[in-house]
Structure 1
Amino acid sequence: MWKEMWESHGGRFVGIAAGMFFGLLYLIVGLWDMFVFALLVIIGYQVGKRKDLHLSSLIPWQRVGFWLSERWRWLK
């Protein structure tokens, strides 16, 4: 019985659980803190996903480093 319910309504169960979790988080922590927390979770997910898929970094660090070294060369 539970397996049939999970297969047919699994998304609804997950949605309700997520709604309850974020609702409690909102009540305990506050709205803006929850947004910051959610943003950090999304950033962490994206970084982990890119690492799992062996994709390059979202920010081209070598190009940024080269650009900065050329731009601030006059300080040397």
Structure 2
Amino acid sequence: MSNFWQSIGEKISGFVMWALEHHPGKFIGTVSGFALGLLMVTLGFWRTVVLVFFVILGFIIGKRQDDHQDIMTWLEKTINK
């Protein structure tokens, strides 16, 4: 039975890699839409909006950190606008 699940896992990972190589926008959009819809159903609209806001904020702060840009300077400029 272990070989069966290993085979299934290999097929799924192969499909994911193929989809990311040939249709990245469609694949990422579909997965994002599914996750967002699942969150809407389980958490509700406003909780999902707050969660998405914090995910986007975390992404922006993390990207600036990865790009070796000063986060505090950016926050000050953004808040003082």
The normalised TM-score by structure 2 is 0.63
Opposite residue 18 of structure 1, the aligned amino acid is: S
Count residues with an aligned counterpart.
62
- In structure 1, stretches of 5+ residues that fail to align are 65-76
Kindly indicate whether residue 79 of structure 2 is the aligned counterpart of residue 59 of structure 1. no
| Range with greater deviation from structure 2 (26-35 or 13-22) | 13-22
Q: What does 1:1-76 correspond to in 2, within 5 Å?
A: 2=15, 5-57=19-71, 58-60=74-76
The normalised TM-score by structure 1 is 0.67
Partner residue in 2 for 1:72: none
- In structure 2, stretches of 5+ residues that fail to align are 1-13
Percent identical across equivalent pairs? 33
Identify, as 1 or 2, the structure richer in helix. Answer: 2
The list of structure 1 runs, each at least 4 consecutive aligned residues, that deviate by more than 6 angstroms after superposition, is none
C-alpha change, 1:5 and 1:27, in structure 2 (3 Å) is closer
